Structure 1
């Protein structure tokens, strides 16, 4: 019976969204309100909402409730354009917030990713990225510090790709990617207004310059409803 009731409420909510009765970023009724409205249990409501979240139609913010997801942006990993350009090209509004910067000796896992056998100092740049005012992407950039003297004095909220080229003459000529659906770590979840352990899409990216040298790697944590991978190799 629970599955049947969950399916019914899911279809009703999906119809409200597809019919634009509820608009992107709009808060939908709470689980308690939906439970009373449909005269069903909170378990049935949560099951329906979880299913719609997996479909990317709604998203949850910790302690705030459920909201209608905006259309996904299209992310082509083979494209060389930076985040702000990618979002502008899709008629959306991008913003980047610098959260933290630190210089450390690379932990072994990151040193291996950067193909470094010796002790290597790196700069770690943590940033939060927004689309249309919603935080959807947490990024950790790990830069080999020898390649980027004085970079920490620059505006690190701007495109690092453009900064690399303008200040250091490095062109991002190649990138390797790993895509990993996983659970949001606590610090990422907090930044994205999620609950720790919620599903997230992690993208590990290794960047090479025009001399085929690994210069940095980055770890992107995306809200899964915010984007779709779209490969266009032409």
Structure 2
């Protein structure tokens, strides 16, 4: 049986991408002309390529070839900015919101708090080479980092903890699983709602063995890979 046209187009574009040399796809209008087809068919092919992680859409700028994934080793405590720099990229963190809130019930036991105790919530976006790749919510303990909300939080939280409080991340308890991007997170990342994502939750401990904070992260499915060397 012959493949539908959108799959043939997807295969052709995928082959061109994997062969290298492409960083950006032609416009949808140009692709329609190139493949002598309709925009509906082209969009279906592009959505298939997006789902497979080969391309991503940047609002009002078109479709781009996905850059190499960032590599995360859970056995190491490197922060986002350090990971991106070590892999040749330029990191940036954008603060969306900062405020004190009652501790969410699901985090209360892990943070060692009582009902209605306060935590600092930071909502932030992480960028690698100008591309939003991760949405992060940090739940921080005010008793450990008093006055945190008064600081410039558009940077590395690891460096802020070290510089202002003499605290270092020493170990973490990490859980992760595949999921779909929630609507609001997808909007912030400039991605399609419902696309696959990797959800990470970290319980972080300082050099004294005390709980420091909890991070909840949503990573674009095409931006991260987990690697662990069991010999370490």
Runs of 4+, deviation exceeding 6 Å = none
1:60-209 aligned at under 5 Å gives the runs 60-61=57-58, 65-209=62-206
Worse-superposed segment, 63-72 or 169-178: 63-72
User: Which runs of 5 or more structure 1 residues have no equivalent in the other structure?
Assistant: none
Q: Is the 8 A contact 1:3 1:44 kept in 2?
A: no
Offset at 1:37? 3.5
Q: How many pairs align?
A: 231
**Structure 1 counterpart of 2:20:** 20
Give the 3-state SS of the residue equivalent to 1:102 in structure 2. Answer: strand
Aligned-residue offset at 1:15: 2.1
Q: CA deviation at 1:152?
A: 1.5
Range 150-159 or range 107-116, more displaced: 107-116
| Shift, 1:84, TM fit | 1.1
Q: Tell me the residue number matched to 2:5.
A: 5
How far apart are residue 144 of structure 1 and its match?
1.3
TM-score, normalisation: structure 1: 0.86
Q: Which residue matches 1:29?
A: 27
| Shift, 1:87, TM fit | 0.7
Question: Could you tell me how far 1:9 is from its partner in structure 2?
Answer: 1.7
Q: 1:38 to 1:177 in 2, by over 3 A?
A: same
Alignment deviations for residues 186-232 of structure 1 (CA, whole Å, 9 cap, x no partner): 32122111233332221111101223222210111111111211223
Q: Can you list the C-alpha shifts for 1:32-52, whole angstroms capped at 9, x where unaligned? A: 654553345666544533332
Moved more, 53-62 or 81-90: 53-62
Tell me, which stretches of 5 or more residues in structure 2 are unaligned?
Answer: none
Q: Deviations over 1:33-79 (max 9, x none)?
A: 54553345666544533332233211134565432111112111222
Using the alignment, how far apart are the partners of 1:105 and 1:198 within structure 2?
31
Q: For 2:53 and 2:112, locate their aligned partners in 1 and report how far apart those are by CA, in whole Å.
A: 36
RMSD of aligned residue pairs (Cα, Å): 2.4
Q: Matched residues in 2 for 1:186 and 1:22: separation?
A: 30
- Structure 1 43/178 Cα, relative in aligned 2: closer, same or farther at 3 Å? farther
Match of 2:169, SS state, is: coil
